[in-house]
Amino acid sequence: MPIDFKALKQGPFPQPVHHQWLGMACLIAMMVGMMTSAEALISIAFIALVCNAVLNRQLPQLWKQFIRHPALLGITGIFLVYALSGLYSENTAYLFRRLRTSLPLLLLPFAILSIPRLERRSYYSLLYLFFLLTLAACLAVVYNYLTDYAAITALYKKGQVMPTPMRHIRFSLTVVLAVAGGFYLSARRFWWWHPAERYLLTGGSLFMIAFLHLLAVRSGLLALYLLAVFALVRLIVIQRQFWLGASVLVTAAGLAYAAFQYVPTLQNKVNYTRYTIHLLIHGGEIKELSDSQRLGSINAGLSMARAHPWIGVGLGDIREAAETYYEKNAPGLAGRQLLPHNQYIFVLGATGALGLVYFLLATFYPLLYGHGYRDIFWTAFHIVVLPSFMVEHTLETQFGLTLYLLFALMGIRYIDTQSPR
């Protein structure tokens, strides 16, 4: 399915065409900024997209559309829950610092409406561009690894990983999303210039699957295997392709086994994980291990939840509450300003059980909105992102928040176009 650039330029839009093109340019800039670790570019794109909505003759209509849009309102509500916790936060300076980081949650769900329509060809083109950017980043990481093979491989014995454009956990999840996007576009026969691009999509996706095993980040591999289970269930249960599903399962299992046996970075990561588990079971010293920070920060968040179960300690006081816990229970982590490395526990510690319930509803509802779960990539996005909240406070950093909002809001607008309410 070729992209018709002429139709994009000349096709009618509910608003002037420049709002469409500026909005698309902002989304592309966010992708590029995320893949190149360009924080300034992400911020500029964010501001430009907000201006695209506010400096708009259709502003009253956009506002009416927004306040009637449950999926977008739900995401915006996460920011409001954070802000409400400021009523009982004592450290207002840190509160405003955290709210500034979370500001896209408040503004981008409204700003995305400035893109009048995100039809199939436009949405697929954005996914294609994301696929190409991620593939290029993976090739660059592999090249860097090959130029210093011995030193980088040795890092895995210490629980570290090869250098990546962003934090390794988020980068691995980004690669998994690109894999899902590549197969998705290939299955829909989407291409820009030539049908042979399907081979690029399929081949690039297979390369990135191999790359994920070389990178050997547990969160990324878990997300990949969850997607594999999802694909097999669809293949066997829904499409009734029993023999094909069995063949794919056996082949995938064999390749995974070979990777665990012969890929040195993956071997070192597995051995390091076994060593960490051994120390945990036998009560060994783990404060120097990379996993100790994650475990200690999660325990700090759970301690806050036990002390303030319903409304939490407040977003502004979460750092001080964590430091108090470290000083008493994990002195080796004190002074590092570690926040709970789990988005769910972060929300629980800051806003309590009430805030966590809202957060769960707000992040899960978009999957159901407009029967979006019928779209394979939209389901794959949630399979990748929602479990990742268990190992990272994804929405508390610029890059993690950009990754989530970029795909969540693009997906919602695409569903709006496919199933107008």
The encoded tokens of residue 216 equal 């050997």
301: Cβ–Cβ under 8 A, 6 or more apart, which residues?
Answer: 322, 340, 342, 345, 346, 348, 349
pLDDT tens, 122-161? 999 999 999 999 999 999 999 998 998 888 877 776 667 7
**E strands, 287-405, in order:** none
Is residue 69 included in any domain, yes or no? no
Q: What is the mean pLDDT of the chain?
A: 86
| Dist CA 207 CA 217 (whole Å) | 16
What is the distance, to the nearest Å, from the Cα of residue 250 to the centroid of all Cα atoms in its chain? 29
pLDDT tens, 211-227? 998 888 888 888 998 89
Query: Is pLDDT larger for residue 244 or for residue 375?
Result: 375
* pLDDT tops 90 at residue 166: no
pLDDT value of residue 11: 44
pLDDT value of residue 340: 92
Is residue 258 included in any domain, yes or no? yes
Is residue 394 included in any domain, yes or no? no
241: Cβ–Cβ under 8 A, 6 or more apart, which residues?
Answer: 235
Q: What are phi and psi of 133, to 5 degrees?
A: -65, -45
On whether the pTM is more than 0.95, the answer is: no
Q: Exposed (0-12), middle (13-18) or buried (19+): which is 18, by Cβ within 10 Å?
A: exposed
pLDDT value of residue 151: 83
Is residue 178 included in any domain, yes or no? yes
Mean pLDDT of all residues in 88-105: 94
Half-sphere exposure (CA, 13 Å, Cβ side) for 417?
18
Is residue 25 included in any domain, yes or no? no
Q: Where are the alpha helices (DSSP H) in 308-342?
A: 318-329
* pLDDT tops 90 at residue 47: yes
Using pLDDT thresholds of 50, 70 and 90, give the confidence band for residue 266: low
Q: How far is CA 48 from CA 8, 25, 84, 137, in A?
A: 21, 9, 27, 26
Is residue 225 included in any domain, yes or no? yes
The encoded tokens of residue 273 equal 């994980």
pLDDT value of residue 254: 73
Using pLDDT thresholds of 50, 70 and 90, give the confidence band for residue 5: very low
Is residue 297 included in any domain, yes or no? no
Mean pLDDT of all residues in 92-110: 95
% of the chain surpassing 70 pLDDT: 83
Least confident of 237-246, 297-306, 320-329: 237-246
Mean pLDDT of all residues in 329-348: 87
**37 backbone φψ class: left, alpha, beta (φ>0; ψ -120 to 50):** left
End-to-end C-alpha distance for the chain, whole angstroms = 27
Boundaries of domain holding 265: 130-284
pLDDT value of residue 72: 97
Using pLDDT thresholds of 50, 70 and 90, give the confidence band for residue 281: low
Task: Look at the chain and report how many structural domains it folds into.
Answer: 1
Using pLDDT thresholds of 50, 70 and 90, give the confidence band for residue 263: low
pLDDT tens, 309-323? 999 999 999 999 999
Least confident of 70-74, 173-177, 247-251: 247-251
| Dist CA 297 CA 166 (whole Å) | 21
* pLDDT tops 70 at residue 273: no
Least confident of 108-117, 251-260, 357-366: 251-260
